[in-house]
Amino acid sequence: MQKRKLGNSGLEVSAIGLGCMGLSFGYGPAVEKQEGIALIRSAVEHGVTFFDTAEVYGPYTNEELVGEALVPFGGQVAIATKFGFKLDPRTGQQLGLDSRPEHIKEVADASLKRLKIDAIDLFYQHRVDPEVPIEDVAGAVKDLIRAGKVKHFGLSEAGVQTIRRAHAVQPVAALQSEYSLWWREPEQEVLPTLEQLGIGLVPFSPLGKGFLTGAISETTTFDKHDFRNIVPRFSPEARKANQAIVDVVRDLAAEKGVTPAQIALAWLLARKPWIVPIPGTTKLHRLEENVGAAAVTLTPDDLGNIERAVSKVPVQGARYPEHLQKLVGR
């Protein structure tokens, strides 16, 4: 698989990474541990060198899974994890945000143990904490980088002013945010800012939380623990309206002899050379399909056709329920 550099940071990773959250959290029951380990190790065999996790996925269990799976590949892969939530020490339940410098340093030490590594390759602030100046957050990560515990600093779902202020204290290697054919808001302000500052973009949910694969219709039902049950964009009415975007992707996929998921990922790769999507999956055949997208080339004509067709389809439904929407774009 081709490699890409995340902005000017020097952090070089596979063109497509693996989002590991869904193995433990968010989309229904966690997979069996050995099954999760096997999937992550298969990803390495298929050329993936970039793995994304966070302390809140589980909580904690996803980092433990990723750590155990990647022990044999020390030095060959890059692991990204995140800080920024306050968790109940007994239950692990989220109790709000906490990006105080002392807390960031505690989380780093705990994550290093769970991940079984000496340094975190990319340490993201999971959500911007309005109670803590971003300069203090960047300063805390700068201290961790000086101490050799962290290699690169990242932000997740941050707004452009926050990105600029953080970057002035400690260069930001990557911003992680949702970005796909059905969530294109980052193109307005975020992408131009990242390009100007030399920061990479790591799109999560690059397949629209599965919608762009074509495998979800208005009648699909989700597991009771599945996050999509509370997402307005996944209401049956919204799914019906948004099917028009999937049809565009599906038509081009049929023309090219590839899958809709591969078109959606290839579209992201064609946007900028510093974009590295991290699709997640629990299934080996989906992993192979996603990795295969790195070999799909979209011509300028293909991209123009997608642009014209998609611009005619107004996407229905918010991407987060209101209480979660408040945490993004700060």
Residues labelled catalytic: 57
- Distance spanning both ends of the chain, measured CA to CA: 35
Contacts of 245 (CB under 8 A, 6+ apart): 181, 182, 212, 310, 313, 315
DSSP codes joined into one string, 253-278: HHHHTS-HHHHHHHHHHHH-TTB---
How far apart (Å, rounded) are the C-alpha atoms in residues 296 and 177? 23
Reading the block at residue 221, the tokens are 């039902």
The count of C-alpha atoms lying within 13 angstroms of the C-alpha of 45, restricted to the half-sphere facing its C-beta, is 10
How far apart (Å, rounded) are the C-alpha atoms in residues 92 and 47? 34
Tell which residue, 199, 191, 86, has the closest CA to residue 152. 199
DSSP character for 280?
Answer: B
Cβ-in-10-Å burial (0-12, 13-18, 19+) of 322 comes to exposed
Reading the block at residue 197, the tokens are 């500052």
Q: CA–CA distance from 277 to each of 132, 205, 268 (Å)?
A: 29, 8, 7
